[in-house]
Structure 1
Amino acid sequence: MTSCPHISLEFTGKFLPPVLVLVFIVGLVANGWGLKSLLENWKKLKIINVFVLNLGLADILYLLTLPSLVVYYFMDSKWIFGDVFCKITRFCFNLNLYGSIGFLTCISVYRYLAIVHPMKVRGRLTLTHSVVISVMVWLLVGIQSLPDMFYTKTSGNHTKGCYDTTSTTYVEDYLKYTLGWTFTAFCIPFLIILGCYGHVVVVLCRKNAINKVLKQRCLKLLFILILLFSVCYIPYHVLKNLNLWSRVLSKQKICHQWNNRVYIAHQISRGLVCLNSALNPLIYCHGNDEISAQLRHLLQRARPMFKCLSLSNFRLCPRYINHK
């Protein structure tokens, strides 16, 4: 055998466009509403909300690049926007992904300090500190993501193909780079979050004097983080590196039957990791009581409409809603 069997790329064009459209609509509405609520209460801004604000900005930055990707996949993976914009699009994805992980880590550490060491940090953590830390997170994420832009991202005279990784020519070097990138930008923050919340859970179980509202917030945030990491982040990083490894093996004429299955699984994980931009707004509800109250109010107003839609006579709907 001179080469490995060709992997079908049709699945990507069928799976990713609907996911990206859904993420764009839900993410833009949810993040727009959340950021608007935060900015309206700027004077009441808390330390943790600075990290939440940056989390939302990272999501908006990525969401604005999704229309071009939807066009790309609808056109059978033909990139018509040029090499520079391809690299910018992929760079924005990485800023969003690792910026989100970075700010989630900051939020987790802040919650850890507020519960485990409340007296030591009281009055010592200020808005200025949170702003400086946010700038450092952006710089660190940008530095880690910058080498990715120097790898080949397009093929076919800039009119076909916009790789999320790189071409087969440089795949061995890219695998080494992405393994180090995964360790520093994902594994280390993930271990920090696990350590923080492992200790927090122990403290919450031992102490009954801790405020009940604070306990509920921590448990809610823990649930959101488990959801984000188990659905979005862990599958993506595992399957991305596994798919790159399978490409290296194929280049070396080492063929496996699981290559195609790994590719499909990786494409599914790419769709799932995009969901983080639609799921991150859950953090707004965790960190801001007023946003949670607004959401409950909206749900209460929407409930009569859903009941109305279930009625057989739709002409009764306006009267029903007005009565409510």
Structure 2
Amino acid sequence: MTNNSTECTINHSIHQTLSPTIYILVFVVGLPANCLSLYYGYLQIRAKNELGIYLCNLTIADLFYIFSLPFWLQYVLQHDNWTYDADLCKICGILLYENIYISVGFLCCISIDRYLAVVHPFRFYQFRTIKAAVVVSIIIWGKEILMSWFVFKHADISKDADSHTICFEHYPIKDWEHNINYYRFFAGFLFPFFLLLFSYCGILRVVRKSHGTQKKTKIQIKRLVSSTVLIFLVCFGPYHILLVIRSLFENNCKFAEKIFNIYHFSLLLTSFNCVADPVLYCFSNETTYQNFVKMRDSGLTCLRCLRTKTQVSYQLKTPETLRKKHFFVYVYDFCNFIPIILTPCNNQ
């Protein structure tokens, strides 16, 4: 592999200020949130719900990206100087960029699945099975793996004017990147966005006409759909628009220097998708809330058992002390964000 050199002098200030903050925030919040989301997807699969297949795949794609964040954090803190192996640079770059399109693919699957369940509950039942979801998931992963292999073969590291090793980027962009960027915009963003919009508009139309659905439920569905479309646009829209702009106009260092900060800001916006996915598709769901309530109740039951055993053991050692004092266990309710006080059994 040969290293390409460029004389572009890029101001990387955004990578020393904003980028580390965003990477740390997404890692700290996204890792536990997606782990819980993965568990929720597993529960859905156990319940023979094909939606669980899509949620698990979506979460796995987000986790792959989250696991690459420590490498990107060190990279930006070293003033965009990659100090690891060149192949590791390619892998982290692929995890960063291709995660966008794997996520988009499964977001579309979720929207279509919901559309078929609400608008055509009996007509296309064969497409709403575990087997069909597995087949669709294999197709999505296979398509992105092929795209990743193409990028892996063509991508290389380059040097900037300060002799820093730039990972997975070129200033200005290479000729082979133009067609890739157009493909990403039309097939990876624009078409999925219209598919998402069509699905959720159909859902809203049916829910609005439904006389058996409560007004509160209609408002909740409308908010969920609006939030999903808005987050899709905010997380992925600016990045893909700038991809096209770069492909059309970036043919010299001057333009690359001007667009660098806004382009990388748009790239940071895509990171928030890893946090938004669990919130939208798992934790905003009433069923999920009930599942976590059950988990909480199970945990409280275990605590009561442990407390009872501890009291019995303590009575054998110092009965006088237990006759004088009561013990209280404080447990934090993660669903309602309030402390729960468990009162011990009366001393005998």
Q: What TM-score bracket applies, with the shorter chain setting the length?
A: 0.7 to 0.9
The amino acid across from 2:277 in the alignment is: N
Q: Judge conservation of contact 1:86–1:162 (CA < 8 Å) in 2.
A: no
Find the partner of 1:274 among 271, 274, 283.
271
The amino acid across from 1:18 in the alignment is: T
CA distance in 2, matches of 1:201, 1:275: 26
Question: 1:221: Cα distance to partner?
Answer: 3.8
User: Relative to 1, partners in 2 of residues 1:72 and 1:193: Cα closer, same or farther, differing over 3 Å?
Assistant: same
Q: Judge conservation of contact 2:57–2:137 (CA < 8 Å) in 1.
A: yes
Find the partner of 1:15 among 13, 18, 28.
18
Give TM-score scaled by structure 2 length.
0.75
1:80-91 paired onto structure 2 within 5 Å: 80-91=83-94
The amino acid across from 1:302 in the alignment is: F
Question: 1:61: Cα distance to partner?
Answer: 0.9
The amino acid across from 1:269 in the alignment is: S
1:150-189 paired onto structure 2 within 5 Å: 150-156=153-159, 160-168=164-172, 171-189=174-192
CA distance in 2, matches of 1:235, 1:101: 15
Question: 1:246: Cα distance to partner?
Answer: 4.2
Q: Judge conservation of contact 2:200–2:225 (CA < 8 Å) in 1.
A: yes
Q: Judge conservation of contact 1:220–1:286 (CA < 8 Å) in 2.
A: no
User: Relative to 1, partners in 2 of residues 1:72 and 1:123: Cα closer, same or farther, differing over 3 Å?
Assistant: closer
User: Relative to 1, partners in 2 of residues 1:192 and 1:231: Cα closer, same or farther, differing over 3 Å?
Assistant: same
Aligned-residue RMSD, C-alpha: 3.1
Deviates more, 1:223-232 or 1:185-194: 223-232
Q: Judge conservation of contact 1:47–1:127 (CA < 8 Å) in 2.
A: yes
Give TM-score scaled by structure 1 length.
0.80
Q: Residue by residue, what CA displacement relative to the aligned partner does 1:284-314 show, whole Å, maximum 9, x if unpaired?
A: 225571346527974455334xxxxxxxxxx
The amino acid across from 2:151 in the alignment is: D
User: Relative to 1, partners in 2 of residues 1:167 and 1:196: Cα closer, same or farther, differing over 3 Å?
Assistant: same
Question: 1:99: Cα distance to partner?
Answer: 0.8
CA distance in 2, matches of 1:82, 1:112: 45
The amino acid across from 1:16 in the alignment is: S
Question: 1:236: Cα distance to partner?
Answer: 1.2
CA distance in 2, matches of 1:45, 1:219: 26
User: Relative to 1, partners in 2 of residues 1:36 and 1:267: Cα closer, same or farther, differing over 3 Å?
Assistant: same
Larger radius of gyration: 2
Deviates more, 1:205-214 or 1:55-64: 205-214
* 1:230 aligned residue: 233
Question: 1:245: Cα distance to partner?
Answer: 4.0
User: Relative to 1, partners in 2 of residues 1:149 and 1:167: Cα closer, same or farther, differing over 3 Å?
Assistant: farther
Which consecutive residues of structure 2, in runs of 5 or more, have no partner in the other structure? 1-6, 297-332, 344-348
Question: 1:5: Cα distance to partner?
Answer: 8.7
2:337 is aligned with 1:302: yes
CA distance in 1, matches of 2:150, 2:199: 30
CA distance in 2, matches of 1:5, 1:83: 21
* 1:310 aligned residue: none
Q: Which has the higher contact order (CA 8 A, sep 6+)?
A: 1
CA distance in 2, matches of 1:47, 1:105: 14
Compare the two structures and name the one with the higher helix fraction: 1
2:29 is aligned with 1:26: yes
User: Relative to 1, partners in 2 of residues 1:291 and 1:235: Cα closer, same or farther, differing over 3 Å?
Assistant: same
